[in-house]
Chain A
């Protein structure tokens, strides 16, 4: 049989022209047929789910838009209460959004934390673009973070001084997350390298660090930072509460990130290390040019997973009385007139968190595809 095919091919019979796939498998109709209506059971499930989704969406639109009240005069929330839950009271957001975003920061100075948030977002956007990935980026970071410090604290350049206790809302969340990850990530790389070091002292130190920090909940670390740590300081010396929480978050995040990075280091074939050694590259040259660029690319998904987790974990600082975005939102509805409108506030805050986390997730997918281009044939 195979002989016959061979013979006809050798005889120069023209190859059959490529045919297009049957129409029923192309386009939207084909896709729906294959994925939604391929059998009676699938059709039934599709219809049921479609019904549920539409029911829910219609309900949400009715609650959130059609029946919603967008503003009320002078804290007169009776109109909202009369809805009895059939419509959203977005008036609480209209009224309280400044407090949710900026906490107890002096009202007339709100432009400062607002500018800080924009600076942070600008910094993220610039850092995300590969063409800015050069050493000057470190200077940009240092400069922008200094400006952020000046804006928040004030006390110079004609800005009034605002003590840290009055900071709150979104800037706190962004400060904790940005400084946290910016310091935790390099620390994590060092710890991961240290755990694989051939020097026993460094290795033991790194293993102990990771195991100790991972072994306790973040909440207990934050408590220690806020309550126990000051007891050990000499009389009269005081370290800012936010800074203590920040350090706790950095140490905690670094332990987790270190294990993610170590996973990447272990996934690299031994031959990569040997080839770099054989060429005479030093330890840091080998690590910087050969090992880390490959190891970090491999672990982008779990890295971003951890980043997103820590972005949200910053909300745990509420237990030591720091007003991050979530705590500020919670506090905004303590006032009797606005009690009972938690859903609207939490939906809004959830949406803000979602925007940041979803952006991180989408960006990392693009980055992964771009950085792993060399693996495509």
Chain B
């Protein structure tokens, strides 16, 4: 019963206009075909978890969405703007899409607060005081306001990743991309970062999360995408994917992941 309700809810969400559309996207690194006809639609407010073995192209796919990588064929449309060589379109998309990296990528020479206020001040042209208020608001949201004056190198990995999430949120993005946000963390710090992300999902943020954390996928994902060798192999609700995998490849992947835990 509860499950049907959930499915209805996610179905309702998919009726909303798509926040992200990937249409037959292809990409090569040299001769290596890393994305093969990848098509995916993500609705506004939807949470999508992308999983798959390493080298399956999942990171490359989300890095194409804000053009950290360029795709060679197909179309990517974000927030009604098509990604192209047009610099203005790219700037507009990057303002709306926040990204959190596996290796945090905080700016080590700036304090936590400056990390958070830099882009709002210079990209959004926000007054400094307002940007600082905003930054403190999000630092409180990720539960580390007391670290605002410290440098990233003085924080633990989990704290750094939460700062990175706050930094991305300060741009008030419509969409958040997470590229294996917990893979570089010590086990005892994974939870604090996942909790922050669950909180974000509950606020209704549109999220695409590349992760191996299947517990997180079950808890927050509307849909799970399974990728292997550059293509989307299976796509469905977490329940469908984890209880009744249709393909051998997903079955094998799940058994490997579960054995690891």
| Interface stretch (choices B25-33, B117-125, B214-222, B230-238) | B117-125
| Residue B106 interfacial (CB < 8 Å) | yes
- The reply to whether B107 and A290 form a contact with Cβ atoms under 8 Å apart is yes
- The reply to whether A294 and B109 form a contact with Cβ atoms under 8 Å apart is yes
Q: Which of B108, B118, B152 contacts A279 (CB 8 A)?
A: B118
Least Cβ distance of B90 to chain A in Å?
Answer: 9
| Interface stretch (choices B42-50, B76-84, B96-104, B242-250) | B96-104
Q: Which of A271, A282, A374, A375 contacts B105 (CB 8 A)?
A: A271
A10 to B98, CA, bound (A): 48
Q: Mark A67-83, 1 if CB is under 8 A from B, else 0.
A: 00000000000000000
- The reply to whether B105 and A274 form a contact with Cβ atoms under 8 Å apart is yes
Least Cβ distance of A133 to chain B in Å?
Answer: 15
- The reply to whether A280 and B119 form a contact with Cβ atoms under 8 Å apart is yes
Number of A-B contacts (CB under 8 A): 68
A269 to B168, CA, bound (A): 19
Ordered nearest first, which 4 A-B pairs have the shortest CB separation?
Answer: A275-B105, A280-B94, A271-B105, A279-B119
Please name all residues of chain A whose beta carbon is closer than 8 Å to the beta carbon of B257 when the two chains form the complex. Answer: none
Closest to A376 in B: B153
| Residue B253 interfacial (CB < 8 Å) | no
Secondary structure of the A contact surface, majority rule: helix
- The reply to whether A281 and B122 form a contact with Cβ atoms under 8 Å apart is yes
- The reply to whether A279 and B123 form a contact with Cβ atoms under 8 Å apart is yes
Q: Which of A271, A297, A377 contacts B101 (CB 8 A)?
A: A271
Least Cβ distance of A282 to chain B in Å?
Answer: 8
Please name all residues of chain B whose beta carbon is closer than 8 Å to the beta carbon of A277 when the two chains form the complex. Answer: 66, 68, 94
Least Cβ distance of B144 to chain A in Å?
Answer: 17
- 10 sampled A-B residue pairs with Cβ under 8 A: A274-B101, A275-B107, A276-B107, A277-B66, A278-B94, A279-B168, A280-B171, A290-B107, A294-B107, A294-B109
| Residue B95 interfacial (CB < 8 Å) | yes
Interface residues of B (CB under 8 A from A): 66, 68, 91, 94-95, 97-99, 101, 103, 105-109, 118-119, 122-123, 151-154, 167-168, 171
Please name all residues of chain A whose beta carbon is closer than 8 Å to the beta carbon of B97 when the two chains form the complex. Answer: 278
A374 to B111, CA, bound (A): 9
Please name all residues of chain B whose beta carbon is closer than 8 Å to the beta carbon of A365 when the two chains form the complex. Answer: none
Please name all residues of chain A whose beta carbon is closer than 8 Å to the beta carbon of B167 when the two chains form the complex. Answer: 279
- The reply to whether B98 and A278 form a contact with Cβ atoms under 8 Å apart is yes
| Residue A39 interfacial (CB < 8 Å) | no
Q: Which of B91, B103, B154 contacts A280 (CB 8 A)?
A: B91
| Residue A25 interfacial (CB < 8 Å) | no
Please name all residues of chain A whose beta carbon is closer than 8 Å to the beta carbon of B106 when the two chains form the complex. Answer: 275
Closest to B108 in A: A374
Closest to A278 in B: B99
Closest to B93 in A: A280
- The reply to whether B123 and A281 form a contact with Cβ atoms under 8 Å apart is yes
Least Cβ distance of B161 to chain A in Å?
Answer: 13
Closest to B95 in A: A280
Please name all residues of chain A whose beta carbon is closer than 8 Å to the beta carbon of B105 when the two chains form the complex. Answer: 269, 271-272, 274-275
Q: Mark A267-301, 1 if CB is under 8 A from B, else 0.
A: 00101101111111110010001100110010000
Q: Which of A274, A280, A281, A293 contacts B109 (CB 8 A)?
A: A293
Closest to A280 in B: B94
A279 to B176, CA, bound (A): 11
- The reply to whether A294 and B123 form a contact with Cβ atoms under 8 Å apart is no
Please name all residues of chain B whose beta carbon is closer than 8 Å to the beta carbon of A281 when the two chains form the complex. Answer: 118-119, 122-123
A375 to B108, CA, bound (A): 8
- The reply to whether A275 and B153 form a contact with Cβ atoms under 8 Å apart is no
Please name all residues of chain B whose beta carbon is closer than 8 Å to the beta carbon of A374 when the two chains form the complex. Answer: 108-109, 151-153
Least Cβ distance of B186 to chain A in Å?
Answer: 16
Closest to B67 in A: A277
- The reply to whether B123 and A377 form a contact with Cβ atoms under 8 Å apart is no
Closest to B118 in A: A289
Least Cβ distance of A279 to chain B in Å?
Answer: 4
Known: A275-B99, A280-B94. 14 other contacts (CB 8 A): A272-B107, A274-B68, A275-B105, A279-B118, A280-B95, A280-B123, A280-B171, A281-B118, A281-B122, A282-B91, A289-B107, A297-B109, A374-B151, A375-B153
Closest to B164 in A: A275
Least Cβ distance of A130 to chain B in Å?
Answer: 14
Please name all residues of chain A whose beta carbon is closer than 8 Å to the beta carbon of B168 when the two chains form the complex. Answer: 278-279
Least Cβ distance of B68 to chain A in Å?
Answer: 5
A293 to B108, CA, bound (A): 10
Please name all residues of chain B whose beta carbon is closer than 8 Å to the beta carbon of A285 when the two chains form the complex. Answer: 122-123
A274 to B118, CA, bound (A): 15
A374 to B122, CA, bound (A): 23
Q: Which of B99, B103, B154, B171 contacts A377 (CB 8 A)?
A: B154
Least Cβ distance of A280 to chain B in Å?
Answer: 4
Best-surrounded residue of A275, A290, A293, A294 (most CB of chain B within 10 A) = A275
Least Cβ distance of A271 to chain B in Å?
Answer: 4
Please name all residues of chain B whose beta carbon is closer than 8 Å to the beta carbon of A272 when the two chains form the complex. Answer: 105, 107
Least Cβ distance of A194 to chain B in Å?
Answer: 19
